[in-house]
Structure 1
Amino acid sequence: MPISRIAIGTPGEACHPDALKAAAAEFFSMLIFVFAGEGSGMAFNKLTDNGSTTPAGLVAAAVAHAFALFVAVSVGANISGGHVNPAVTFGAFIGGNITLLRGILYWIAQLLGSVVACLLLKFATGGLETSAFSLSTDVSVLNALVFEIVMTFGLVYTVYATAIDPKKGDLGIIAPIAIGFIVGANILAGGAFDGASMNPAVSFGPAVVSWTWANHWVYWVGPLIGAAIAALVYDNIFIGGNTHEQLPTTDY
């Protein structure tokens, strides 16, 4: 069971230069991702008179987030592992691939990166609103929770298969591409229902800047549950105790 490999970490890890560099990499990767992803929606609204909720707006959001996440994961992969998502970090922790203390550093950096990106967007656009994630009128909280669990399961399962599994071989650029593609596809599937976050930090930044917290918990609980399930399923079925290898701290 991967749960037996969960590690707290040492106090000195929180201030170790490698850990701080990894946290900085997560901050900048998240800033890049949120600025491009959230900014694309704001630009589409400006050009189409609030048309981001149209089919064309949904496709534009999916493409923008897929491209931006591909870049954000790629630029951070060699330093922090390119999590760019507190749910991915949580899934890696559940699988014993990152310590709790290092994971907390990642979370702080990811949340700050999202908030800073939204503040920069608000300033650069002359005060335009960074819209918080919200549920469609015909979608219940339970519906949205299931969407977030299933979509994040698919995302973290993909991360495990392409980036964490020690048997993956030299996939190189395939991992960031696959991760970007699954996020883009999930936005097409769930974007019209709850915004398809799959990422607590991506939801947190706009919520802070716009100070909109309605149903915000869904965008934390759903992704964290989905990530934990994906980690447990993939590790137990496809990695197993006999083949598991702790990833170098330079990766996760």
Structure 2
Amino acid sequence: MPIYRIAIGTPGEASHPDALKAAAAEFFSTLIFVFAGEGSGMALNKLTNNGPQTASGLIAAAISHAYALFVAVSIGANISGGHVNPAVTFGALIGGNITLLRSISYWIAQLLGSTVACLLLKLATGGLETSAFTLSSGVSVGNALVLEAVMTFGLVYTVYATAVDPKKGNIGVVAPLAIGFIVGANILVGGAFDGASMNPAVSFGPAVVSGVWTHQWVYWAGPMLGAAIAALVYDNIFMGDSTHERLPVTDH
């Protein structure tokens, strides 16, 4: 079971130059992703005078997030792995592909990157509010929890198949594109119901800046649950001990 491969890491790991560079890469990648994704939603609201959501608006959101995530994962891949998402980091931790201490540094960097992106958006747009994630009318907390878990399962499963699996071969080249595509597709599915976060950092930044925390826990619990299940499923069924490269637990 992957759970037995979880490595805590060593105290010196957090201050190691490589770990600091990786955290910085996660900060900037997440900032770029959230600025473009959240910013596109704010621009659409301005163009429609905060009118009701439309099909064309949902498609625009899906495209902007897919493009932005493709870029964000690409620019961080060679430094930090291009997680850009606390749920992806959690999935990597469950599978033993990153240590707990490094995961914590990634989570901090991702949350800060999202928050700074939203603050910059508010500053750049003359004080317009960033839109916090909320449940649509008729969507219960249970509905949203399942939706977020399933969508994030698809995302993290894709990450494992195209970026983590040692057998990925040449398909690793298209990993950022595949990851961006699955997020864009999932937004077309869940965007009208709960905003289709799949990423606690994406939900956290707008909540901090707007001060709206309603149902925020759903956007953490759902993605983390989906990520854990995806890691367990893919690692146990398709990777296993024979192909898994255990992380070193000492400084390097």
Q: CA deviation at 1:171?
A: 2.5
Which letter maps to 1:227?
A: A
Q: How far, CA to CA, are the matches of 2:195 and 2:57 in structure 1?
A: 12
1:1-23 deviations in Å (ceiling 9; x for gaps): 11110000000000000000000
Q: Are residues 173 and 48 of structure 1, via their aligned partners in 2, closer, same or farther at CA, if it must alter by over 3 Å?
A: farther
Q: Secondary structure at the match of 2:169?
A: coil
1:178-200 deviations in Å (ceiling 9; x for gaps): 00000000000000000000000
Who is 1:85 aligned against? 85
Q: Secondary structure at the match of 1:167?
A: helix
Give the CA RMSD over aligned residues. Answer: 1.2
Q: How far, CA to CA, are the matches of 1:20 and 1:246 in structure 2?
A: 21
Q: How far, CA to CA, are the matches of 1:6 and 1:157 in structure 2?
A: 18
Instruction: Give TM-score, length-normalised by structure 1.
Output: 0.97
Q: CA deviation at 1:54?
A: 1.1
Instruction: Give TM-score, length-normalised by structure 2.
Output: 0.97
Contact 2:7–2:247 under 8 Å retained in 1: no
Contact 1:135–1:193 under 8 Å retained in 2: yes
Who is 1:230 aligned against? 230
Q: Secondary structure at the match of 2:87?
A: helix
Q: How far, CA to CA, are the matches of 1:215 and 1:26 in structure 2?
A: 25
Q: Are residues 52 and 174 of structure 1, via their aligned partners in 2, closer, same or farther at CA, if it must alter by over 3 Å?
A: farther
Who is 1:149 aligned against? 149
Correspondence 1:191 to 2:191: yes
Q: CA deviation at 1:248?
A: 8.4
Unpaired runs of 5+ residues, structure 2, are none
Unpaired runs of 5+ residues, structure 1, are none
Which letter maps to 1:26?
A: E
Contact 1:52–1:58 under 8 Å retained in 2: no
1:160-207 deviations in Å (ceiling 9; x for gaps): 000000100133431000000000000000000000000000000000
Q: Are residues 137 and 215 of structure 1, via their aligned partners in 2, closer, same or farther at CA, if it must alter by over 3 Å?
A: same
Contact 2:111–2:205 under 8 Å retained in 1: yes
Q: How far, CA to CA, are the matches of 1:51 and 1:105 in structure 2?
A: 39
Q: CA deviation at 1:56?
A: 0.9
- Aligned length, in residue pairs: 249
Which consecutive aligned stretches of 4+ in structure 1 deviate over 4 angstroms post-superposition? none
